[in-house]
Amino acid sequence: MNIIIINPNTTRAMTELIGSCARAVAAPGTRITAVTSTTGPASIESHYDEALSVPGMLLQIAEGESVDADGYVIACFGDPGLDAARELARGPVVGIAEAAMHAASLVGRDFSIVTTLNRTTGRAKDLVAHYGFSSRCVGVHACEIPVLDLEDPSSTAATVILQMCRDAIEHDGCDSIVLGCAGMADLCAWLSAELGVPVIDGVGAATKLIEGLVSLGLRTSTRSEFARPLPKHYSGSLSAFELAAPNHLSSILHSRPNRARPRDTS
**Identity of the residue, 126 or 225, whose beta carbon is nearer to ligand 5HY in the bound complex:** 126
Stretch that binds ligand 5HY, among 60-68, 74-82, 219-227, 258-266 (CB under 6 A): 74-82
**Identity of the residue, 69 or 181, whose beta carbon is nearer to ligand 5HY in the bound complex:** 181
Q: Where are the beta strands (DSSP E) in 14-172?
A: 31-36, 71-74, 93-95, 111-115, 137-142
CA distance 231 to 249: 13
Cβ–Cβ < 8 Å for 76, 179: no
Measured from the Cβ of residue 228, the count of other Cβ atoms closer than 10 Å reads 14
**Identity of the residue, 118 or 239, whose beta carbon is nearer to ligand 5HY in the bound complex:** 118
Q: Is 60 an interacting residue with respect to ligand 5HY (CB under 6 A)? A: no
Q: Is 43 an interacting residue with respect to ligand 5HY (CB under 6 A)? A: yes
Cβ–Cβ < 8 Å for 162, 199: no
Measured from the Cβ of residue 24, the count of other Cβ atoms closer than 10 Å reads 15
Stretch that binds ligand 5HY, among 72-80, 105-113, 152-160, 192-200 (CB under 6 A): 72-80
CB of 133 to ligand 5HY, least distance (A): 17
CB of 135 to ligand 5HY, least distance (A): 23
Cβ–Cβ < 8 Å for 113, 201: no
CA distance 30 to 2: 6
CB of 160 to ligand 5HY, least distance (A): 14
One DSSP character per residue, 172-212 reads H--SEEEE--GGGGGGHHHHHHHHSS-EE-HHHHHHHHHHH
Cβ–Cβ < 8 Å for 206, 99: yes
DSSP 8-state code for residue 89: -
Q: Is 77 an interacting residue with respect to ligand 5HY (CB under 6 A)? A: yes
CB of 31 to ligand 5HY, least distance (A): 23
Binding-residue pattern over the window 4 to 33 for ligand 5HY, x denoting contact by CB under 6 A:
-----x------------------------
**Identity of the residue, 71 or 78, whose beta carbon is nearer to ligand 5HY in the bound complex:** 78
**Identity of the residue, 151 or 194, whose beta carbon is nearer to ligand 5HY in the bound complex:** 151
Site for ligand 5HY in 116-135 (CB under 6 A): 116, 120
Task: Select from 76, 85, 94, 205 the one that contacts ligand 5HY (CB under 6 A).
Answer: 76
CB of 159 to ligand 5HY, least distance (A): 18
Q: Is 181 an interacting residue with respect to ligand 5HY (CB under 6 A)? A: yes
Pairing state of beta strands 93-95 and 137-142?
unpaired
31: phi then psi, degrees, rounded to nearest 5: -95, 125
Binding site residues, ligand 5HY, CB under 6 A: 9, 43-45, 76-78, 115-116, 120, 147, 181-182
